[in-house]
């Protein structure tokens, strides 16, 4: 019962979110992305803008992401380790 109420509240909130958002495909603000598209080739020398975001502009996030993967795999090895 409690769960059903939580679920319905969430559904209403989320659909309201979709209703409030900008129309699909018409972006309101794009200062950060336009800067990146225009300057990525010049600053990082890579043709693939997404890769230059992943490894250069937001390279620190990728380090975090690699850490998450490392953590989870170390965790899985710990949980499933043999005990003999």
Partner 1 sequence: MKEERMSIIVTTIANLLFPFIIIFSFYVIMHGHLTPGGGFQGGAIGASAIVMLIVAYGAREIRKKVGEENLSIFESIGGLIFVIVGILGFIMASTFLYNFLVGSELFGKIPPLGSNPGYLNTGGILPLLNIAVGMKVIGGLASVVLVMALFRGDKE
Partner 2 sequence: MNIDWLITHSPALLIALPLLAAFLTPIIDRVSKKARNAFVIAVLIIEEIIMILFAWDVFTNGIHIYTMGASNPTETVPSQAVVPVRIVLEVDGMGAFMGLISATVSLAAGIYSLAFIEEEKGKGKFYTLLLLVLVGMVGMEFTGDLFNLFVFLEVLSIACAALIAYRSHFGDAVEGSFKFLIISSIAALFVLFAVALFYAQYDLLNIAALASVMQYSHLDKIALALLVAAFAMKCGAVPMHFWTPDAYSVAPAPITAMLVAASQASLYALFRVCFTLYGLTLNLEVIGGALIIFGLLSMFVGVTMAIPQKDIKRLMAYHAISQTGYMLLGVGVGLYLLAKPEFSSYGIKAMEGGIFHIINHAMYKGLLFLTAGAVYYRLKTRNLNEMGGLGHTMPYTAIFFIIGALAIAGIPPFNGFASKLLIYEAAYKVSPILSIIAMLVSILTLASFVKVFHSAFMGPKIHNVEEAPKSMLVGMAILTFVIIFFGLFPGWVVNHIVHPAAQALADQASYIQAVMGG
Partner 3 sequence: MIYNIPFYTVIALILIGLYAILFKRNLIKIAIGVTILESGVNLFLITLGYRKGGVAPIYTNLPPSIEVPEGMVMPVPQALTLTSIVIGVAVLALILSLAIMIYRHYGTLDSRKVRRLKE
Residues lying near partner 3 in the complex (CB under 8 A): 3, 6-7, 10-11, 14-15, 17-19, 21, 23-27, 30, 32-34, 36-38, 40-41, 47-50, 53-54, 57-58, 61-62, 64-66, 68-69, 71-73, 75-76, 79-80
H or E element: which one contains 50?
Answer: helix 49-52
> Both tokens of residue 73?
């795999």
Minimum gap (Å) between residue 55 Cβ and partner 1: 5
Evaluate whether 28 touches 41 at the Cβ level (below 8 Å): no
Between 19 and 58, how does the x/- string for binding to partner 2 read (CB under 8 A)?
-xxx----xxxxxxx-xx--x----------------xxx
Distances 83 to 42, 71, 80 between C-alpha atoms, Å: 54, 21, 9
């Amino acid at each position: 019962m409690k769960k059903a109420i939580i679920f319905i509240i969430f559904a209403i909130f989320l659909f309201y979110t979709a209703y409030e958002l900008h129309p699909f495909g018409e972006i309101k603000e794009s200062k950060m992305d336009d800067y990146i598209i225009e300057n990525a080739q010049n600053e990082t020398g890579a043709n693939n803008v997404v890769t230059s975001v992943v490894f250069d502009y937001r390279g620190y996030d990728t380090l975090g992401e690699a850490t998450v993967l490392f953590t989870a795999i170390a965790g899985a090895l710990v949980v499933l380790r043999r005990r003999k």
